[in-house]
Amino acid sequence: MSTVANIFANYYQYFLRGTRTTIVVSLVTVFFGALVGCVIALLRISKFKPLSAFAKLYITVLRGTPLLVQLYIVYYQLNFIHYPSGQFLGVELARVIPCIIALSLNSGAYVAEIIRAGIQAVDFGQTEAALSCGMTYPQCMWNIVLPQAIKNILPAIGNEFVTMVKETSIIQYLGISDLMYNNGIVVTSTYNPLPCYYISALIYLTLNIVLGKGLNIFEMRLKQSER
């Protein structure tokens, strides 16, 4: 344990810098993943079969292939796009944007199924009542169904954020200075990998415990507001 403490005391700035990048990328990814997931979920429940088939194929492909493979495909397939130059939080935008795109697309496939389940959990009688009152289907979905569905699925979306904090560790392979990338720098400097991985594991664990507690508090308040 003394070795772990010594390494952290000498190289804590690397771990903190990587943790900051991990949190920012996770937040941005979950935000865009939720947007993508909402669109795909609506397409999935669409009565227009080509759109529904596309959404089903999207979910099947993104959930059925490794995230690392998707990351490389997006990075190399979109190399014709000229991403903004410069840095954000010490990370090159040209490298981090493809990572966010790949992670968001992957997250969107899982979020889509969460949202679809939330929509289908709303009593269909409410949809029928809204349509009988003269609402169009989009108006019914936007004003009646989605507000209730979102309230039900917010805890699950929060769990997706917790998962994404861990999933972002793969962006190290594209040179993004997240927690695991900076962990590698410290390993190279100290030639003592095991304590470094202990530190990274403790940081991930701490992040997820804090996020989990926050989600539990949010869920409790959500239930109290329903009373």
Q: Which CATH architecture is the domain 2-225 placed in?
A: Orthogonal Bundle (1.10)
Residue 196 CB-half CA count within 13 A = 20
Collapsing DSSP to helix, strand or coil, 79 comes out as coil
Say how far apart CA 95 and CA 224 lie, in whole Å.
Answer: 43
Task: With beta carbons less than 8 A apart as the criterion, state whether 205 and 193 touch.
Answer: no
pLDDT band at 84 (very low <50, low <70, confident <90, very high): low
Q: Is the pLDDT of residue 92 over 80?
A: no
What's residue 199's pLDDT?
94
Contacts of 75 (CB under 8 A, 6+ apart): 98, 99, 102, 174
Domain positions in the chain are 2-225
For the record, the structure tokens of 74 come out as: 């997006």
Task: With beta carbons less than 8 A apart as the criterion, state whether 138 and 187 touch.
Answer: no
The arithmetic mean of pLDDT across residues 5-27, rounded, is: 90
Mean pLDDT (the chain, rounded):
85
Say how far apart CA 210 and CA 190 lie, in whole Å.
Answer: 29
pTM value is 0.84
Collapsing DSSP to helix, strand or coil, 191 comes out as coil
What's residue 70's pLDDT?
93
What's residue 3's pLDDT?
85
What's residue 80's pLDDT?
65
> 102 or 156: whose pLDDT is higher?
102
Q: What is the CA radius of gyration of the chain?
A: 21
Say how far apart CA 118 and CA 41 lie, in whole Å.
Answer: 10
